Chains A and B, each alone.
Chain A
Amino acid sequence: MSSHSDPSAPLQGGPTKSTERKLKRESRTQLVAFVLMIFMTSLAFVSIGSDAIPNGFAIPFILMLAGIQVVLQLYFFMHMNEKGTAWINIMIWSGMFVAALTVGALMFLLGIVKY
């Protein structure tokens, strides 16, 4: 933000040892997470394709998988676990919380059965 730095100046030198270690760790995490995502997506496809899951439970099951995957992607790929993301976490989770409660209540209220 300060006017004393020149953002267009060319970078010089290499990353420090600790940065290199961090990047290595980071790339390993990314790779593992990516494999995990592939696994979960295939799990969803396979479970439906092979009739391994009973019909009544199929939709909740893949929705559950989808939910888990979204959260994992937010933290692994969207870097929501790093420093400086506190507000992002707060807003996303409170939004999800309100939305989940609202949708749940609506399913309960708009049904045919009256409780």
Chain B
Amino acid sequence: MSYANAQSKNVIWDWLTTVDHKKIGILYLAGGAFFFALGGLEAILMRIQLMFPEFTFVQAQTFNELLTMHGTTMIFLAAMPLLFGFMNFVIPLQIGARDVAFPFLNALGFWLFLFGGLLLNVSWFATGAPDAGWTAYVPLSSMSPGQGLDYYVLGLQVSGLGTLIAGINFLVTIINMRAPGMSMMRMPLFTWSSFVASMLILFAFPALTIGLLLLMLERLFGATYFAVDFGGNVIIWQHLFWIFGHPEVYILILPAFGIFSEVLATFSKKRLFGYSAMVFATLIIGFLGFMVWAHHMFTVGMGPVANAIFAVATMAIAVPTGIKIFNWLLTLWGGRIQFTTANLFALGFIPSFVMGGVTGVMLATSAANYQFHDTYFVVAHFHYVIIGGVVFGLFSGAFYWWPKMFGYRLNEMLGKWFFWLFLIGFHLTFFVQHFLGLIGMPRRVASYLGGQGLDEMNFISTIGAFLMTIAFILLLVNIFTSTKNRENVADPWDGRTLEWTTPTPVPEYNFAQTPLVRELDPFWHEKYEGDGKMKAAEPLGDIHMPNGTILPIIMAAGLTVASFGFIYHIHPLTISGLAITFGAMFVRSVKEDHGHHIPVEEIKRDLGGGKNG
């Protein structure tokens, strides 16, 4: 056991080798924000193309690539990593842990996501991006010429592996690393919903892995799972994809629900209404998320009984979601509501998300779905739930946790401008798309004819997209100009949960002494029933922390090299890439690494001088 603190000399090396959950959370946020901007750029290019009938801003093929990459990037490379960023930073702090259960795997998960995402986007500069839609239905995807779809398959396989690792990591962390007194029913809702989302990841991602593997074998090695002439079945892909894909949208929305639960309770100055009902509803939503995948396939021809069963199951999800909505409303009821930017996003979320939910129930009506299927009505629905739910949640969480993560508060004035512009732009963009869909504009079309009643609404929609773009630029301006607001960052919002008990910046070990949890919302309890400080569950002592390591990045790079080998059929490259990965695994297995201890003197020094706020 060494006391040699393995801090490196070099900042960049420090970030490349980090296994600290807070740094990995920030890395996830940075990576996710990069891909979020990329996905937004793709979206705005598409909206410009659809601004006028028969416009020729981009080619039809480019449009297909844009829409595929927009969906893939936003779901896999923006929304999930951004949520993982918050989960990584916040969950260990909320449960009173010093780190996640598997710090090494945490770093590996991040690097796999980043390399997978970069691999996917290399396709723009190679032979063209994937062009079969983010759902990549066969045979369109299995027959697609060029290497675009190969990039899709391997990029998603690599980043999906990272996601699966991260999900398992959070499951084990939440089960095993809770502070004394932090029972399951005292956990903050964000931790609870992330826990359920991690369960969904554990059960859903294998289906995607298998689906992508079949598609890879089909495209690269001439298999015939989906080739009807050889007795294959194209519907298998749709089932496998949606068995993953439907839980995926709940993986996205549940942590966002958790963020709203934290934010609304904090800014109403009330404990969350119906905590146990919220937990129960989260679990039910998680379970039902698995049982409804075929509602994406009502028009495939599954037959009336199957359609009816899935229609009813889908409508049933409205019940636990409704429970959650009413609980949020009742949390606000009678509270002292503060209209901070974070809370504005949470308040804007409730009506926006309900509108998306209502169109969801409409789509679940399997008979009516024959009319809605593959029209802009569907596009409007899922943008309402994903932007009005997940993206609002991410922005809300960003404004809420920013002081704790980065040590400065974002400007509220700019933040409110950002919120209102984004809210108006979002509704302007997508509200009219419901009607575009109802009068028959299909999804995924690169252009449309004029004089069919589609012109004005498409133009309005594009104006809204511009507004959202301006709003996002305001957020970026806010991030870079607010760095001087450095006072009151330890507990800026009069927080209720354990993450606000730590000093800012949060020390490497999070808690000098593991806190003792005595109640739901433990920090609030100590503020109003105790003396305002957490009770310690252990004496002050040396703290054991893991060492940083460069191996995760090497493993991820090896898989990326192997992916290029697969895409271009260069077997030596494949073998060398896999050799790099397995070599790194071998090193990890045989090299003893016991971590290091932080001596008690250093902790006492931090406690003496490191407090601000």
Q: Which A residues fall within an 8 A CB radius of B?
A: 3, 87, 91, 94-95, 98-99, 101-102, 105-106, 108-110, 114-115
Cβ contact of B290, chosen from A102, A110, A114, cutoff 8 A: A102
Given A91-B202, A98-B290, A102-B290, 17 more A-B residue pairs with CB atoms under 8 Å apart are: A3-B1, A3-B541, A3-B542, A3-B544, A94-B203, A95-B202, A95-B203, A101-B291, A105-B294, A106-B239, A109-B302, A109-B306, A110-B236, A114-B301, A114-B303, A115-B303, A115-B306
Q: Measured between alpha carbons, how far is A109 from B306 in the docked complex, in Å?
A: 7
C-alpha spacing A91/B287, complex, angstroms: 13
Q: Find the residue from A91, A101, A105 having the highest chain B CB count within 10 A.
A: A105
Q: Which residues of A contact B294 (CB under 8 A)?
A: 105, 109
| A-contacting residues, B542-573, CB 8 Å | 542, 544
**In the bound complex, CA of A36 to CA of B85 (Å):** 50
Please state if A101 and B304 are interface contacts (CB–CB under 8 Å): no
Complex-state Cα separation, A94 to B203, whole angstroms: 9
A99 to B207, CA, bound (A): 10
CA of A68 to CA of B239, assembled, Å: 29
Closest A residue to B204 using CB positions = A98
Task: Identify the closest chain A residue to B309 (Cβ).
Answer: A105
Contacts of B4 in A (CB 8 A): none
Which residues of chain B are near A106, meaning CB under 8 Å?
239, 243
> What's the Cα separation between A5 and B520 when bound, in Å?
34
Cβ of B66 to closest chain A Cβ, rounded Å:
32
Which A residues are in CB contact (< 8 Å) with B303? 114-115
Known A3-B542, A98-B203, A110-B239; judge A115-B305 contact (CB<8 A).
yes
| Residue on A nearest B235 in the bound complex, by CB | A110
- 26 inter-chain pairs at a CB distance below 8 angstroms, sorted by A residue, are A3-B1, A3-B542, A3-B544, A87-B175, A91-B199, A91-B202, A94-B199, A95-B202, A95-B203, A98-B203, A98-B290, A101-B290, A101-B291, A102-B207, A102-B290, A105-B294, A106-B243, A109-B235, A109-B239, A109-B294, A109-B302, A110-B239, A114-B302, A114-B303, A115-B305, A115-B306
Q: Choose among A95, A101, A102, A109 the residue with the greatest number of B CB atoms under 10 Å from its CB.
A: A109
User: What distance in Å separates the Cβ of A40 from its nearest Cβ neighbour in chain B?
Assistant: 29
Question: Which residues in B have their C-beta under 8 angstroms from that of A109?
Answer: 235, 239, 294, 302, 306
The 9 closest A-B pairs by CB, nearest first: A114-B303, A115-B305, A115-B303, A98-B290, A87-B175, A98-B203, A109-B302, A109-B306, A106-B239
A91 partner residues in chain B, CB cutoff 8 A: 171, 199, 202
- Interface residue? B327 (CB, 8 A): no
C-alpha gap A114/B290 in the complex (Å)? 22
Q: How many Å lie between the Cα of A105 and that of B310 in the bound state?
A: 10
- Whether, in the assembled complex, B233 has its beta carbon less than 8 Å from a beta carbon of chain A, the answer is yes
The distance in angstroms between the C-alpha atoms of A65 and B541, with both chains bound, is: 54
B301 vs chain A, min Cβ distance (A)? 7
By a CB distance below 8 angstroms, the chain B residues around A114 are 301-303, 306
Q: In whole angstroms, how far apart are the Cα atoms of A94 and B305 in the complex? A: 26
The chain A residue sitting closest to B302, CB to CB, is A109
Say whether B203 contacts A115, CB under 8 Å: no
Contacts of B1 in A (CB 8 A): 3
B160 to chain A, nearest CB (A): 18
Contact partners of A102 in chain B: CB under 8 A: 207, 243, 290
In contact, A108 and B243 (Cβ under 8 angstroms): no
B545 to chain A, nearest CB (A): 13
A95 to B, closest residue via Cβ: B203
A98, B203: Cα distance in complex, Å: 8
Minimum distance in angstroms from B306 CB to a CB of chain A: 6
Report A-chain residues with C-beta under 8 Å of the C-beta of B199: 91, 94
Residues of chain A within 8 A of B541, CB atoms compared: 3
Chain A residue at smallest Cβ distance from B200: A98
Contacts of A94 in B (CB 8 A): 199, 203
| B171 cross-chain contacts in A, Cβ below 8 A | 91
CB distance from A91 to the nearest CB of B (A): 8
> For the complex, what is the distance from the CA of A108 to the CA of B171, rounded to whole Å?
32
B599, chain A: closest CB distance, angstroms: 12
A115 to B305, CA, bound (A): 5
